[in-house]
């Protein structure tokens, strides 16, 4: 039996469900942070907690109650797609798990919605600051309902950048330490917050001027790239080619410093 493909759903309806799910996921994280949680090791330095799983379950329940036929790609559960669907929800229930496990208050819930492969909605919720970043395609980006936009910084030496390191940092030579060293000597400041989704939102809000990372997953980026683009930012791969959340590299910036970031990332280490 073949099912009809999903009809168009208003962006406001998608945003409302994504926001509800992100806030409910955030409430689970807050409650687990208050009452305690269990930590398991996926790999040597890659942790997961029962808070990740519980938040993910809540989020998926809310999405499936509203849209039972939609596909869901969630970090801990993987892809759930009962029927071919035009819509895919891409979820990181806890971005910043290492921070969360240590009680360092920099983590969030990240929910992106794709239709026909295109990012339409981004919602990132930081429960420790009660900051909700939202965007709908072609309708701008917002922080707690107030419009946000990227910075105007146009030189690396006045830029505050952020990056991150993947969990295979010990196993691969492509571990971003080379880029980190080069940027550290060129910029005003360089940070590593441990939450890629918030890093993207902070570039969108002008708190950072640029962000790059070598090995990210779709759930780290799906929401944040919609928010960044809607805030006027630029996002590409390391070659300057169009960004896909299904690739791994990401260079995100306010625009004016983008080429300088690409130039530095492409520098031949032998000549730097």
Question: Which range of residues in 27-35, 93-101, 111-119, 231-239 is near ligand IPD by CB under 6 A?
Answer: 93-101
Q: How many residues bind ligand IPD (CB under 6 A)?
A: 14
Contacting Ca ion (CB under 5 A), which of 56, 95, 199, 213?
Answer: 95
Coil, strand, or helix at residue 214? Answer: coil
Applying CB under 6 A, which part among 9-17, 60-68, 137-145, 159-167 lies near ligand IPD?
159-167
Among residues 134, 114, 63, the alpha carbon closest in space to that of 218 is found at 114
Shortest distance (Å) from residue 50 CB to Ca ion: 13
Closer to ligand IPD by CB, 92 or 209: give it.
Answer: 92
| Contact with ligand IPD (CB under 6 A) among 97, 153, 234, 253 | 97
Maximum distance among all Cα pairs of the chain, rounded to whole angstroms: 61
Closer Cβ to ligand IPD, 115 or 196, answer by number: 196
194 sits near ligand IPD (criterion: CB under 6 A): yes
Which string of b and e fits 235-252 if b means at least 16 CB within 10 Å?
A: bbbbebeebbbeebbbbb
Rule CB under 6 A: choose which of 28, 109, 166, 265 binds ligand IPD.
166
CA-CA distance, 118 to 226, in Å (whole number)?
A: 10
The two tokens of residue 92 are 């990181």
Nearest approach in angstroms of CB 181 to ligand IPD is 17
DSSP-derived secondary structure for 128-180: TTTEEEEEETTS-EEETTEE--------GGG-EEEE---TTTTT-S-SSHHHH
Please give the residue ranges that form the binding site for ligand IPD (CB under 6 A).
92, 95-98, 164-166, 194-196, 213, 216, 220
């Amino acid at each position: 039996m073949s099912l009809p493909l999903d009809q168009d759903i208003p962006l406001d309806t998608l945003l409302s469900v994504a926001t509800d799910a992100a806030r409910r996921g955030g409430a689970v994280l807050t409650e687990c942070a208050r009452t305690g949680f269990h930590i398991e090791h996926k790999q040597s330095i890659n942790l997961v907690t029962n808070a990740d799983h519980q938040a993910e379950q809540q989020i998926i329940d809310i999405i499936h109650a509203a849209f039972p036929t939609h596909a869901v790609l969630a970090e801990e559960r993987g892809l759930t797609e009962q029927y071919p669907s035009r819509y895919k929800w891409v979820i990181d229930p806890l971005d910043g798990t290492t921070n969360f496990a240590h009680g360092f208050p920099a983590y969030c819930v990240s929910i992106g919605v794709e239709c026909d492969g295109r990012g339409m909605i981004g919602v990132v919720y930081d429960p420790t600051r009660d900051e909700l970043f939202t965007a709908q395609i072609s309708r701008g980006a917002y922080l707690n309902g107030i419009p946000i936009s990227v910075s105007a910084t146009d030189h690396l030496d006045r830029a505050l950048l952020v990056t991150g390191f993947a969990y295979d940092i010990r196993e691969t030579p492509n571990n971003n330490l080379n880029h980190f060293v080069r940027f550290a000597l060129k910029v005003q400041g360089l940070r590593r917050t441990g939450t890629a989704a918030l890093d993207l939102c902070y570039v969108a809000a002008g708190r950072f001027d640029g962000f790059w990372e070598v090995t990210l997953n779709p759930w780290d980026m799906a929401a944040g790239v919609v928010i960044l683009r809607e805030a006027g930012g630029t996002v590409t791969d390391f070659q300057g080619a169009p960004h896909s959340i299904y690739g791994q590299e990401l260079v995100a910036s306010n625009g004016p410093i983008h080429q300088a970031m690409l130039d530095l990332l492409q520098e031949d280490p032998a000549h730097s």
